[in-house]
Chain A
Amino acid sequence: MDKMPAWADAVLVPLISILLAAALSALVILAIGENPVDAFKLMVEGALMRSAGWGYTLYYATNFIFTGLCVAVAFHAKMFNIGGEGQAMIGGLGVALVCLFIPFPHWSIALLVAMLAAGLFGALWALIPAYLQAKRGSHIVITTIMFNFIAAAVLNYVLVNVLRPTGAMDPATAEFPAATHLPTFQDMFATADNPLFRGSPANVTFFLAVLACLAFWFLMWRTKLGYEIRAFGFSESGARYAGISPVRITIVAMLISGGLAGMMALNTTMGEAERLVMNATEGAGFIGIAVALMGRSHPVGIFLAALLFGFLYQGGAELALWTNIPRELITVIQALVILFTGALDNMVRMPLERIFMATRRRNG
C-alpha cells in the first residue's frame, strides 16, 4: 500500500489534530460566553511575554517532558503505561526520603542521589505491573490504573502517619534541609538590575529534562536495547524470532518508563515545594499521555508538545486568575488533544492519505 510522505505523517497529521482541538476549544470558550481571541491573548501574555511567565511555563514543561518520555518508552514497546501518575508519586517518596534523611553538603550531590532514588522508586512501582504483564499476561493498562490508586493510598498513609512532623495539620513532610534546595532560574539568571524569572519555580531540573530527551533519543535509536524495544513494539512475533526475549523487553521498558516518571518528582518535590505534599503530581502523569501522543513518541516532538502544554497550563492559570474561565479549560483541551491525536487519528489520516494519493496519481 502506498504511504504518505514521512513529513506529512510526522508534522501534518499532528498539526491538523491540534488545530481541530484548538477550534473545538474555541467553541467551548464561546459557548460559556467568553471571547476565545481575548482568552488566547491573555494566555500568551501571561505565559510567554514575561520572564516570570516563562519560568512557570518551563517549570510545567519539565514535568511533562519526563512524563511524556515515560509514556513514549512504553509506546515504543507497544505498551500503554497509564501509571505515570502513581510512579511519579512514589518517585516523590524516594526524593523525600533521601532529602530528609541524608545530610548532603551541596545541592549538586543531593540532586544526583535524589535522581537515583526517584528513578529507582518509580521504576520499582512499575515493576509489579511489568512482571504481571510479562509473566502472567495481566493487561498492563488495568494494572497500572490500579497501581495509581494504590500509590495514592500508600502516599496518603505515609504522609499522614509516618512522615508528617508532629503537630503539623496538613499531610506533608517537613521542609527539606536548605542544602538540598535546587537553584531556580532566578538564582541562575537574574542580576541586580535585570530581575529575570522573579518568583517562578523553574529550576535546574529543566536541564535534566533536556538531557533526558537526548538520552532517550540515544537509547532508542543508537543502542541495541533501544532497537530491541522498537522491534518488540513493531512485531512481537518478529522480535521473538530474532531472539529478543519478550519478558526481558517488557520489564526493562517498563522500568525505564517508571524511572522517567519518578524523576518528574525531582522538579515538583525538590525543585518547587521543597517538601513532599499529597498532590505533588497534579495529573502530570496523565498529561504525559497527551504529550507522547502529540510528540509521536519522539524526543523532539515530546519536547515541543511539553512546551505547548506548559504554556497551556500557565496560560490556564492566568485565565482562571483574570477571567471567569476556570482552569478546567486546560483539562478539556488536553482531552481533545488526546482524542484527536490518539483515538481519532484515522479520522485525520484517512482523508489526508486520499488527498496525497489523488495528487500523486494526477502527477504520475
Chain B
Amino acid sequence: MDFATLLQVLDSTVRLATPLLFACLAGLFSERSGVVDIGLEGKMLAAAFASAAIAAVTGSVWLGLLAGIVSATLMSAIHGLASITFRGNQLISGVAINFLASGLTVLIAQSWFGQGGRTPSLIGAGRFTGITLPFAEALSDVPVIGPIYAELISGHSILVYVAFLMVPLTWFILYRTRFGLRLRAVGEAPEAVDTAGVSVIGLRYAAIAICGLLCGLAGAYLATGLQAGFVREMTAGRGYIALAALIFAKWRPWYALWACLLFGLLQAVALRYQNIDLGAFVVPVQVMDALPYILTVIILAGFVGKAIPPRASGEPYLKER
C-alpha cells in the first residue's frame, strides 16, 4: 500500500467516523445521566430523513440541518416521556423508537416524494460540501505534511470539524462545569443529587435534549454530507456501532474519539478492500463487518479491562416519600 492509498483510507475513515462520533457522544450524555439509550439508531435515521427531505424541498441544507435536529429531539422527548416521566423500561422505549423511525421515515418519504421511500438526490446548496482550509493549496507540494494537510485534514464538510470539536467540548462540559458534575452525579447517585436540591428529572431531560441535538447532527451529516439524500435504513446499524463505541470507550469522551476512529477505519477498510489477502489466509469482508461488535463483546466480557456503566443507568428515579 502506498502513501496516497493510505491517505485515501484515512480520509474515508474520518468521514465514516464522523456520524459515529456524533452518535457516540449523544449516547454519552444520555447514559452518563442514567438514561440508557439504544434508540440512537432511530434518532439518527429520523434526522437523516428530516434533513434530506427539508433540504430537498427548500434547497437549503441549513434548514435541513435544523429539521434533522428537531426531529431527533422529538424522538428524544418520546424516550424521555417514557423513561423519565412514566418510569418505563428504557430499553423497550429505545427499541420502540428505532422501529418508529424505521417505519415513519419510509412512510413519509413515500407519501411526500413517491420514490420508493427515498428523497430526491440533493444538489447544490442542499448539501454540505467540503471546505478547503487556508493554505491547503499552497502547502500541498510540501512532502508528507503537505498531502496530509491538504487531503486528510482539509476538504471535509463543516460538520466533520464540528464533530471533532465536540470531543473537547464534551470533555469540558462533563468535567469542568457545574452542569457536567451534576450530570455525572445523576447517573451515579440520583438520590444524592435530589437531596442536594437539584432536579433529577430536569437534569435527565437536559441530557436527553443534548442527545437529541447530537443525533440530529449525526443523521444530518449522513444524509446531507456523507451522501446526497436519504435512502431507507440508511443508518445501517451505525447507531448500534456508536453504542458499541461508547461501551468500548467506557463512557469517556476522549476514548470515544479513538473508538469511533477505530470503528470508522474498519468500515473504511471493509468498503475499500472487501476480502483482504494476507498471503497465508484471506480475511473475508464479513470479519471486518463483525469486528466492532466482537471487540465490544470482548470488552464487555471484561477480559481486556472491564467496562462498568454509570451505576444508576437504566433505573428510573422514584422520589422517596
Question: A residues touching B (Cβ–Cβ < 8 Å)?
Answer: 28, 31-33, 80, 82, 128, 132, 136-139, 141-143, 145-147, 149-150, 152-154, 156-157, 160-161, 286, 289, 293, 324-326, 328-336, 338-339, 342-347, 350
How many angstroms between the C-alpha atoms of A196 and B296 in the bound complex?
A: 50
A137-B302, A145-B240 known; A326 and B99 CB under 8 Å?
A: no
- In the complex, are the beta carbons of A82 and B95 less than 8 A apart? yes
Q: Is B104 an interface residue (CB 8 A)?
A: yes
- In the complex, are the beta carbons of B290 and A154 less than 8 A apart? yes
* Cβ of B26 to closest chain A Cβ, rounded Å: 17
Within 8 A of A (CB), among B153-181: none
- In the complex, are the beta carbons of A339 and B100 less than 8 A apart? yes
Q: 9 nearest interchain CB pairs?
A: A331-B103, A343-B93, A335-B99, A332-B103, A153-B290, A342-B92, A32-B111, A335-B100, A343-B82
Name the contact of B290 in the complex, choosing from A141, A150, A332 (C-beta under 8 A). Answer: A150
**B296 / chain A contacts, CB cutoff of 8 Å:** 142, 146
**A146 / chain B contacts, CB cutoff of 8 Å:** 240, 244, 293-294, 296-297, 300
* Cβ of B165 to closest chain A Cβ, rounded Å: 28
- In the complex, are the beta carbons of B107 and A346 less than 8 A apart? no
* Cβ of A77 to closest chain B Cβ, rounded Å: 15
* Cβ of B46 to closest chain A Cβ, rounded Å: 12
Known: A142-B300, A150-B297. 5 other contacts (CB 8 A): A153-B286, A156-B289, A332-B103, A334-B99, A342-B92
- Closest Cβ neighbor of B108 among chain A residues: A32
- In the complex, are the beta carbons of A345 and B103 less than 8 A apart? no
- In the complex, are the beta carbons of B309 and A139 less than 8 A apart? yes
**B286 / chain A contacts, CB cutoff of 8 Å:** 153-154, 156-157, 160
* Cβ of B57 to closest chain A Cβ, rounded Å: 16
- In the complex, are the beta carbons of B82 and A344 less than 8 A apart? yes
- In the complex, are the beta carbons of B92 and A80 less than 8 A apart? yes
> Looking at chain B's contact residues, is the secondary structure mostly helix, strand, loop, or mixed?
helix
**B88 / chain A contacts, CB cutoff of 8 Å:** 342-347
How many angstroms between the C-alpha atoms of A324 and B114 in the bound complex?
A: 9
* Cβ of B187 to closest chain A Cβ, rounded Å: 15
How many angstroms between the C-alpha atoms of A146 and B293 in the bound complex?
A: 5
14 intermolecular pairs with C-beta atoms under 8 Å apart? A33-B111, A132-B300, A139-B309, A157-B284, A157-B287, A324-B111, A328-B106, A328-B232, A334-B99, A339-B93, A339-B96, A343-B92, A346-B88, A347-B88
How many angstroms between the C-alpha atoms of A138 and B99 in the bound complex?
A: 25
- In the complex, are the beta carbons of A141 and B91 less than 8 A apart? yes
**B87 / chain A contacts, CB cutoff of 8 Å:** 346
Q: Is B110 an interface residue (CB 8 A)?
A: yes
**B117 / chain A contacts, CB cutoff of 8 Å:** 326, 328
* Cβ of A184 to closest chain B Cβ, rounded Å: 30
- In the complex, are the beta carbons of A326 and B106 less than 8 A apart? yes
Name the contact of A328 in the complex, choosing from B89, B103, B114, B247 (C-beta under 8 A). Answer: B103
Size range of the chain B interface in the assembly? 35 or more
Name the contact of A331 in the complex, choosing from B90, B93, B102, B284 (C-beta under 8 A). Answer: B102
- Closest Cβ neighbor of A33 among chain B residues: B111
* Cβ of B212 to closest chain A Cβ, rounded Å: 17
Q: Is B78 an interface residue (CB 8 A)?
A: yes
Name the contact of A342 in the complex, choosing from B78, B89, B104 (C-beta under 8 A). Answer: B89
How many angstroms between the C-alpha atoms of A326 and B106 in the bound complex?
A: 8
Name the contact of B107 in the complex, choosing from A82, A150, A328, A347 (C-beta under 8 A). Answer: A328
A326-B117, A342-B88 known; A332 and B107 CB under 8 Å?
A: yes
Q: Is B237 an interface residue (CB 8 A)?
A: yes
- In the complex, are the beta carbons of B95 and A338 less than 8 A apart? yes
Q: Is B301 an interface residue (CB 8 A)?
A: yes
> Looking at chain A's contact residues, is the secondary structure mostly helix, strand, loop, or mixed?
helix
**B267 / chain A contacts, CB cutoff of 8 Å:** none
Q: Is B243 an interface residue (CB 8 A)?
A: yes
* Cβ of B293 to closest chain A Cβ, rounded Å: 4
Q: Is B3 an interface residue (CB 8 A)?
A: no
A80-B92, A343-B96 known; A145 and B243 CB under 8 Å?
A: yes
- In the complex, are the beta carbons of A153 and B289 less than 8 A apart? yes
- In the complex, are the beta carbons of B95 and A286 less than 8 A apart? yes
- In the complex, are the beta carbons of B301 and A136 less than 8 A apart? yes
**A132 / chain B contacts, CB cutoff of 8 Å:** 297, 300-301
- In the complex, are the beta carbons of B301 and A138 less than 8 A apart? yes
How many angstroms between the C-alpha atoms of A325 and B107 in the bound complex?
A: 7
* Cβ of B231 to closest chain A Cβ, rounded Å: 13
Interface centre among A82, A146, A324 (most CB of B within 10 A): A146
Name the contact of A326 in the complex, choosing from B90, B100, B107 (C-beta under 8 A). Answer: B107
- In the complex, are the beta carbons of A339 and B102 less than 8 A apart? no
Q: Is B150 an interface residue (CB 8 A)?
A: no
Within 8 A of A (CB), among B265-298: 284, 286-287, 289-290, 293-294, 296-297
- In the complex, are the beta carbons of A343 and B89 less than 8 A apart? yes
**B51 / chain A contacts, CB cutoff of 8 Å:** none
Q: Is B97 an interface residue (CB 8 A)?
A: yes
How many angstroms between the C-alpha atoms of A328 and B297 in the bound complex?
A: 31
Name the contact of A141 in the complex, choosing from B38, B86, B114, B294 (C-beta under 8 A). Answer: B38
- Closest Cβ neighbor of B111 among chain A residues: A32
How many angstroms between the C-alpha atoms of A351 and B143 in the bound complex?
A: 71
Q: Is B192 an interface residue (CB 8 A)?
A: no
How many angstroms between the C-alpha atoms of A330 and B301 in the bound complex?
A: 36
- In the complex, are the beta carbons of B103 and A334 less than 8 A apart? yes
How many angstroms between the C-alpha atoms of A32 and B294 in the bound complex?
A: 41
Interface centre among A139, A339, A345 (most CB of B within 10 A): A339
**B145 / chain A contacts, CB cutoff of 8 Å:** none
How many angstroms between the C-alpha atoms of A86 and B131 in the bound complex?
A: 42
How many angstroms between the C-alpha atoms of A346 and B81 in the bound complex?
A: 11
- In the complex, are the beta carbons of A335 and B103 less than 8 A apart? yes
How many angstroms between the C-alpha atoms of A146 and B291 in the bound complex?
A: 10
- Closest Cβ neighbor of B275 among chain A residues: A161
Q: Is B18 an interface residue (CB 8 A)?
A: no
Q: Is B235 an interface residue (CB 8 A)?
A: no
